[in-house]
Structures are given as C-alpha cells and as structure tokens.
Structure 1
Amino acid sequence: MRCPFGTTRGQGQAPDTPHLRREGRKQGMAIGYLKVSTISRGRGATACARMAYVCRARIADPRTEIMHDYRRKRDDVEAVGVVGWKGDAASLAAEMSKSEKRKDACEGRSIIVALPHELDADTRERVVRLWCEDLRARHGVACAYALHLPDAHGDERNFHAHVIVSARRSDGLALKEKTRELDNPRTGGVEVEAWRVAWAARCDEALTQTSTAPRVDMRSWKRRLEAEGLPNGFIEPQEHLGPARAAAERRGQRTAAGERNRRRRRRRAARAPMLREHEATKRKGEEMSGIEKTQTRQDPQGLEALARRAAAQSHMKHTAKIVSPSTGQRLPTRKAGMLDKAQSSLDGFLSGIERSARGELGDEER
C-alpha cells in the first residue's frame, strides 16, 4: 500500500539511518546490505518511536504517553505494509510496547536492507513483503515495513527498506511468547545469517527477470577478503556518518569523520591496482588445468612464469600486511623486513631457474 499520511510539524529526534553506499557498482554487481539492531528500552529506544520514524507516521506510545510525529518527512516513503498482523503499523507498535514489562526490555528488532536499484517500485515492494513472510514462517513474528526513496542530495540508487520485527510471536491479533532463538547469543547470529541468505535469494529471484541479472553478494568485506586470500585490513570499511554529519558534508562543511573516510578512500584507491592484479592472477590460476600445470613445471620458461605469478601474490600479501591501516605508511618494525627477505629469496629462486634453463648449474647446485 502507498503511504497515506498527511503533513504536520513533527516532534522528537529521528533515529539514526545509515547512508547506504554502493561499493560494487563499478563491477556491475548488486551489493547486499542488511543491518539488524535491537529496539532496547535500556538504550532509550522504543518500538513506537522507531515505527513512527520509518513509516513517517504519527504514533502515540501507550507506555510513555509520548506522541511521535514524523509526517513532515513523508515525501521519501514509497510504500508501507504489515505482515502477520491484522491491524496497521501503528497498532503493531503499540502492542509491541504494551507486551513488555521490564524497563530494559527488547521491544523488537529494526532492520535496514539495501534494495537493488535495477528493480521497479512494485518489484521492490514484493521482494520486501516476501522476505517478511519468510521471517514470519521461520519465527512466527509480525513485521511492518517501509520502503524509502533515495535522498535528494545523495546517491540516486540508494533505494532501501526498513523492517520492524516484533520480539514476540504473533497470532495476528496479539503478541504471545518471546522469540528466544533470536535472544540467545548462541543461536541469534545463526538466525540472522539465515535472514541474509533468504534476502539474497529473494533479490536474486527478482533480479533474474532483469536484463543484467546481477547477483547479490551479502558477504562483508572481511569475508570477501578471506575468500580472496587477502588480509583483513586490505580494504578498510568507511565510518558511518549519520544524518547530521552527512548533511554537513553535503553542505560543504568538512567533518572529522568525513576526513577519516576520505583518507580511507585514498588508501583504497592506492591499493586498487594490487587488488586487480590479484584478481587477474587468480583467474589465470583457475583457468589452468592440472595437466597444464604439470606441463608448465616441466618447462623451465613456464616454471619461471609460474613462479613470478606466485611471487606477485606473495608480494602483495606481504605488502598489505606491513602497511598501517590508519596511516597507509610502511610499519617501522621488524615485520617491514619480511618483504625485503621475500624479495631476496624470490630473486635467488628466479636466478636459479634462469641458470637451470641455460644449463649453467653444476651437479652440486642441482
């Protein structure tokens, strides 16, 4: 359903909304983003405040008797809806508040997901609704969602959705027992990972109907680097600015967090050639069959080329490990000598290969 709310002056401070960046667009892939946070009274958050903000609605909290009104920001709401609940989002938020008695209770969970910009409006809403139905089928919870349009001064591809999930199972009319599998530290992470898999599957299913059909990658930078065999600090994540600092940056006012992000982007750009070289080397290695590798090892010239490719990978890994993530400078420790030792060993190894190819090695050296 489309957002039905009118306009008026709002009250209160808007909860934080991440600025979603599309780091992989240059490679033509859809980058997945899914962040889960708890709506905890202990940290001053409430389901009514969060629901009012994401839906750009006017909702009264029955526990605190505070009226939360964000209808003035309604222009960026594309669609709202509920799953697993007979009423609207406001009534669900009120029930989430009334169901909890502890002063530090978790009233629910707030999720933000990035939507592929390749999808049209109806498909985006269908993907979010189907995923909410997946959550209900898995945990029996009620969900309310709101799809937001890109910010007028930000990335025009930044379509995203907010999903509010109840902390208790729902029969459609009332909230019942707690979802303990999500509260348990041993199982909560596993369940959230299942959410990520389900979200990627729903996005991929919708994207296959487009002409480009990119795949959604839900892995963090850490996991991507581990899969590529690169150290964790090779790609530094950027610091979240938040609404106030992001607005200041758009006005041309430089902030400390913005400066840190600019330094990280410069270091990332400096390491980009090394990353491309690593990817090209990996592709070449995957293309070589076992027979080709055997033949290469029997050929001195081919062996030299293989050694140089392997050395390039080792060189890049050592370089990344001895560069300070904070300054981008070479570390002034004994670790900095690793690269020199590796390069020295490589030069000696390659020299031996060349001499062997020319037949200059004696029996003892062989």
Structure 2
Amino acid sequence: MADIGSDAKIYLKPGGFLDSPQYFDEQNKRLNNSLLWFSHVEYSIFEENKAPFRNLVPVELWDKIASRLPEPVQERAATQFANLTKSHSSLQCGERVLRFDQPHVMGILNMTPDSFSDGGKHDGDPQIAADAGFDMATAGASILDIGGESTRPGADTVWEGDEIKRVIPVIEKLTQCGAALSIDTRKAAVMEAAIAAGAHIINDVSALLHDKRSLEVAGVSGRPVVLMHAPSSGKDPHKSDGYGNVVTDTFDWLEQRVADVVAAGFEREKIIIDPGLGFGKSLSDNLALMNNIALFHALGQPLLIGASRKRMIGALSKEAPVDQRLGGSIAFAHHAIQQGAQVVRVHDVPETVQAAQVWRGMRDAGVTAQV
C-alpha cells in the first residue's frame, strides 16, 4: 500500500453477515449492539485522478491490513471500524425508551393536503389523525412522525403558523399513545411548539440548516434529532447539481454535518442520520444508496431509512401507483433492517412490523441454534 497518498479517503462497509456467529467467535464482530454480526470488511480508497481501490478483508485480518495504511488514512479507518462495533446509547423519549438492539418502525402521520402518498387523508381533523396514530402505536410503531408540510417535489412552502395549527392538536392527543412522538419539520417555531406540546424527537429533512434558529432550538430542547441529507436546504430540498459518487458524497456530507452540529454543542449520542432517499436523487442514486446502507454505520450514529411508497418503487414495478406500492415498501424496509438500519420510516405500519418481527424471529433462532 505504499502508493496510497496521505490525502486518500477510506470508507469501510461491513459485510458477510452470519446467521449463527457463535460458531465463529474469532471470525466476526457485532455490528453495533444489533442482532447482526459481520465477518468481512469491504474497504474502498478514493484518491483524486485515480480509480477507486477496493478490497474485501476477513475481520480477523483487518488490524494487519489497517496497519499498512498511511497514518492519516489509518486514523480514519480506525475511527470508522470503531464506529461499526460501538454500542449506541438508548434514547429516553418521555416514558418510552428506544433501545437500538433491535429495529424500530416509525409510522408516518401526515397532516397535509398535498403529501405525495396520503395527502389530505387526515388534513383538518386532528381526532381522525390521532386515531390513526393510536392504531399505528397499537400495531407496533415505536415512533410516530407527525408532519404538517409536504416536502414532495414541487410542493408549496407552508407558513409556520399554519404548520403549527396542523400538527399541535394531533401531538397533544397522542402524548399518551405509548410511542415516541417525532415532529417532521424544517422550522424552528414549529419545533418549539411541538416540543411544548409533547414531541420527543425532531426530524428535519434539512439537517437543521433551513432555519437559522433550528440548531439552537434543537440543542436547548435536549431532544434527539434526525439529520437528513438533502442537496439543498432552501425552499426546494430536491434542487441538485448531481453527484460525483452519490454514496461517498452523501457519506461525506453527513459526516461533516454531524461534526458541525456536535461542535455547536449538541450531544452526539442524540443524533440519528438519514441518507435522504428520494431527495434530489435519481433512481440509480437511490439504488446505490440502498445497496450501501451498511457503509453508513461507519459514521457512528443510528441510521434511519425512509423508502416507503417512494417514486423509485413505481419505477421498478411497471409504474405502480402510490397506493399499490406495499410490496416494494416492505422489500426496501426489510432490506434496510437486514443491513442494520435501526429505524425504518413507513406508511404501512402493521405489515412492516410483521416483517420486522419475522426477521427478528429468524435472527433469534440463528444466534441460539445448537445444530
């Protein structure tokens, strides 16, 4: 590896997940504190004006391989490997504790007339929306994500006062539902109102960049926050100039954003990351991200994936309309869980919870097998 420059960038991706890791104690590592154990590390090295170098290494040989890297690259590799094997702290969300030793389902509750999937379903009737939220919680949703502004391509911006009127009555009615409540917003005033009403988590598609007050509001609140990648923090979060490599570009952006938020005083343990599927990304971009979900664990934060009913499902299934994308939504959610995603954000809660429970049963059987 003598020809690798000190300015090269390395990316680590866990692979070779084992059904029964107990049979191979020295040949695997646990992915975070999840029910997944990986036996290999796929590493990629990128240098300017050179083709990427990629290799696949058994975990028991990783230290030997890493010791041959140039010092700055070696340091980055060590940080990423430590992130793959760290245990994520639990999040206290009111009376609900979110532990990350198993995947969580986040149910989507849109209080908008124009969301791409279910716009208008609950608009204007907080009780109907709350009833739907209670049903999701009863079906097994750990988190309910309540939003009052659509971020679909071409959607109009909603005045913060109207957004508050849409979401606050619903949050107030759901404070005793048993699930953690998340406010899906880009606006500081909406965050403040939602927190006062009982919201436990802030989910911002602009990663606290759209509103200059958001970072302060989130930090002062002490609430966990979801930082999502979008190519623009302006009015249109889908505005994009394209990517050199969508996977590494998104990884680098999230890495820097987490660092900036932590530097501003936010607790790292309360940050969840989201690569932002469908936001300013083509079908090939989205599929590249889905195929590399496991790489994002190297950032050291719990990972949220939201692919439910999105346009890419229609593109892969003969243009199936939004209300006929259940199968594709389950396929993407199941894939994300298999790659270690700690949270999947979905519209179809009962079906996704069932898929997660079946996966959990298979994992439990694998790690307790006595064959």
TM-score normalized by the length of structure 2 = 0.24
Q: Which has the higher helix share?
A: 1
TM-score normalized by the length of structure 1 = 0.24
Higher relative contact order (CA 8 A, sep 6+): 2
